Amino acid sequence: MENDIQAIDNSIIEVKTTSFVIEQKMSSIKLDNDQNFKQINSKTEIKDKTKPVKISIPPPNLVSLSQAPYKTSVRQNFRTTSNDKISNWNKTSKFSPKNFIDNEDKFAKQNFKRDKNSQTIESKMSPKKNQIKKSASAVSSVNSQQIVYDQYWDPGSIAEGLSNGTLLNGKLRINPRSYEDAFLTDPSGGSDIYINGLKDRNRALNNDVVAVKLKEKYSWKVVDVFKRKIVEVISHFQREANLNGSLDNLIKKNEETKNGRNQNEKKDLIDLAPLCFSRKELLDKIPNNWLQRTGFVVGIIEKKNNRWAVGHLKLFQDKNKEFALFSPNDSRIPRMKIKLDECPSDFYQNPQIYANTLFMAQILDIPSNSKYAIGELKRSIGQDGNIEAETEAILMENGIDYSEFTDEVIQSLPATPWSIPQEEFDYRKDLRNVCIFTIDPATARDLDDALHCVQLEDDLFEVGVHIADVSYFVNEDSPIDKCACERATSVYLVQKVIPMLPRLLCEQLCSLNPDTDRLTFSVIWKVRSNGDIVDEWFGKTVINSAVKLSYDHAQKVIENPEKNFDLAEFPPIRKEFNLTQIKTTILNLQSIAKALRQKRFKNGCLVLNQVKLNYVLNKDSGLPFGYSVYQQKDSNRLVEEFMLLANIAVAHHIYEQFPLKAILRRHPTPNLKQLTDLSETIKSNGFDCDVTSSNSIQAFLETIQQDSTLSSLTLTCLLTKTMQLAQYFCSGSNIPKEQFYHYGLAVPLYTHFTSPIRRYPDILVHRLLAASLGHCTETSRDPTFLQTIAENCNDKKYSARICSEKSSEMFFALFVNECGPLEEVACVIQIKDHSFDVLIVDLGISKRIYCDKLDIIEESINYVNSDSKQELSFKWKVTDKHREEAIQKLELFTPVNVVLTKHESDPLKFNITLKHPNEKPVSSKLSKEIVEQKEMIDYQNDHETTNVFVQRIDTDPYICD
């Protein structure tokens, strides 16, 4: 009997090994207000920052903003050797950024059909595309290493599996650092399901909504901190069962790779117990929380990934004359076979000419028997390292439509000069004689909100929030509405903004510019000084802003309430009003805002503000002159409070009036498993964090902030990772009422009403509010369609955020390459066996540092990871520079000094290394020149007369808002 069990187990081990070999082969594929203003220093070594040097000449391969290539269809900044060739080739290629997503799939989920022959699920596509797909599939196996993917389940089986709980569904997340590791969030709030390798991922791409089946328990992945405990259980079980074989030797063999690095984090249970994994008795002895569940994709429910990629063209190693190899920059996208006749005509003869050229391609199909996808080459977009080319790549990969607005859209705009029609005054409340003004970042051009405050009695104030009436210009189903619905949001990059609406609306007709009559939608309250609301009014209005203030102007008043300011310190004020009125209004608003904020925090709101970098660019070269960290001050919080109050008030009103069509915004509770695990980690490192509610988390962060800013910023970063994204939804969808709750703000109902110039959901909300007041008819769109629009807005908002982050990372890398090395303070946030992650606190940037890049003795590395401790220690080498032996121990939240240096080959990347513990930190004192430059920028309203360009940033108050 024992021999039979051994034979069965050995056969399973053989299958497992074969699968492992296949996967191993596959893996070979491959500025408003801040004190810490930084300025470029062109030296190549760390220098005292009191002597900055301003860059005036751009480095090679960078283009000035005035030469932005979006104005022409052919780029003029390629290398001379390939310029004409690529330009001529591009002329033959038809492409528009608007074609990123097929029009038929814009707002409807992919419809699936079952192929009677292959039994696979395919998304709908045109006959022409199907013909290309079939042709491509027929030749996919030519000169390619094969991999056999499983067939997708049919739609009926998937629906049944989701219904009875045998399948899970959700968005697939692929690790950008390790493309073979993918994860699915557990809908019930448990730990993520791990999907290991390309085969288990089964042709699904990042962000696709997939159906996943869990594997048997013996294939679950061992949680690293419980590995030793599992080994003890298995050893004990083997001794009791008198099984042969040395477990310790087996584990040691499995843990080692050719470079000697520990691979525990990728082990599943079968790897640790191959001789007895089939014994149910053993499985019962191992708790489920010691393991991470694993699964495999059985079908793609919705293709959220747009299947577009930016990368480089290469020849295959065998010099194949039919196909070229397209290698995407994003490792999560599979490599593609491209027909040579789609490539530049001389590519096969002179591939080196195009080695540094970025191309764009689209995946047409991922065959079930090839490691390569079948792709179609669209066009070239520029050279490596070119800011505008790389920016275009970011936009393309994230499905952002950055094209010029069509003639149809432009023609639907009002003729200029435009003035408010007389009939609008007949039913709107005229507030032009009220002291109303805007408070925005100094760089803002799209002013979509304004405030007023009038004292009615000793303890009674009238407070109004006035929002640009964008829906007046954007009628439902008009050309401009369809365009805005598709774009869904404006995208804020470092050097430009991709607007949701044409600039005629964004910056002129809708923008609440000073001393100009404008149409608005208003919420007006009667409120006590303690924040109690006495009365509330919604309606359409006409205003004329008294002045355009920046946050810094308002902050000066808040910080100096008794000061008699000079008019020269402020922008021009409408002649009907004076500076005293402006000052009084700001102070009254501030007093009420503080009371409202206290109420919100008492109710359990959670603030997880993250670091945002704000860049200053040289207008001529387009290069960063410097950067600052965008900080929220009282003036920011003043505006924030009244915007939140308006959003909450409108949410309740439209839901009461339209319970099936209200467009709301919810913030789901955090992933309980991740939050609990983080809490245990925090506790084991000396912090007592109660994560049972948003209120308790906020109280914890406030306590830590009083003791240590470093710890506070680090813990905020880690807590943010456990949070889910806030989501737009239609109240008539299948989302239960109890899930309408907004966790971060701790309110039952919330929506977005205050930024219709840059967010499409706000326009939908304006229409609902107008219909509730009898100004227009109720939308004809049903709840299902409204929910589809809401989901598109969620996707586009997330894509816009990714683009903004990547743009900021790119410009920071450029900054480091020009002025580095830079020294920064960082905090350890994750520890692995041969690497560790740090958060550069002042920048909000997380980076990984590898031990083999440090000047340390490799044999001295000691890694400890248990349920109560995570630690990495090593010994630095003795050198001429460091003559004393130094042992460094890293734990979670250990502060360290890091050095950021220029990348060897890529100007848009930078290196990071750990500074020797015996080296003294470099001073980062601000120079007089930097301070003067910063002050000039902070209080500048018109940048046309300066030689700098200040980044415009998206100032949404919360990561969860």
- Residue where the block lists tokens 């009002």: 414
For the chain, give the number of residues: 961
Alpha-carbon distance 469 to 521, whole Å? 5
Instruction: Please report, to the nearest 10 degrees, the dihedral formed by the alpha carbons of residues 545, 551, 554, 557 taken in order.
Output: -160
Alpha-carbon distance 448 to 440, whole Å? 9
* Residue (of 610, 613, 644, 639) closest to 626 by Cα position: 613
* Residue (of 650, 662, 663) closest to 465 by Cα position: 650
Q: Which helix (H) or strand (E) holds 281?
A: helix 280-285
* Residue (of 844, 857, 778) closest to 805 by Cα position: 844
Identify the three-state secondary structure at position 51. Answer: coil
Ranges of beta strands (E only) in 877-929 are 886-891, 895-902, 910-914
765 close to 752: Cβ distance less than 8 angstroms: yes
Q: 367 has which bridge partners?
A: none
Ranges of beta strands (E only) in 216-290 are 221-222
How distant, in Å, are the alpha carbons of 633, 695, 785 from that of 530?
21, 21, 42
Alpha-carbon distance 862 to 874, whole Å? 6
Identify the three-state secondary structure at position 319. Answer: coil
Question: Exposed (0-12), middle (13-18) or buried (19+): which is 378, by Cβ within 10 Å?
Answer: buried
* Interior/surface letters 83-98, b for 16+ CB within 10 angstroms, e for the rest: eebbeebbeeeebebe
Question: Exposed (0-12), middle (13-18) or buried (19+): which is 587, by Cβ within 10 Å?
Answer: middle
Alpha-carbon distance 45 to 919, whole Å? 15
Q: Is 440 annotated as a binding residue?
A: yes
Work out the widest C-alpha separation in the chain, in whole angstroms: 100
Identify the three-state secondary structure at position 921. Answer: coil
Ranges of beta strands (E only) in 14-95 are 38-39
263 close to 177: Cβ distance less than 8 angstroms: no
Alpha-carbon distance 807 to 495, whole Å? 9
* Residue (of 771, 841, 820) closest to 611 by Cα position: 841
* Interior/surface letters 861-886, b for 16+ CB within 10 angstroms, e for the rest: bebebeeeebebebbbeeeeeeeeee
* Residue (of 445, 472, 587, 592) closest to 532 by Cα position: 592
Which two tokens mark 930?
A: 């930097």
Instruction: Please count the CA atoms within 13 angstroms of the CA of 360 that sit on its side-chain side.
Output: 27
Q: Which helix (H) or strand (E) holds 327?
A: strand 323-328
Question: Exposed (0-12), middle (13-18) or buried (19+): which is 837, by Cβ within 10 Å?
Answer: middle
Q: 455 has which bridge partners?
A: 461
Amino acid at 188: S
* Positive or negative torsion for Cα 529, 535, 536, 540: negative
Residue 438 backbone phi and psi in degrees, to 5: -105, 150
Amino acid at 260: G
Q: 170 has which bridge partners?
A: 210
Identify the three-state secondary structure at position 847. Answer: strand
Count of Cβ atoms closer than 10 Å to residue 22 Cβ = 17
The annotated binding site for Mg(2+) is made up of 440, 449
Question: Which residues are documented as binding site?
Answer: 440, 449
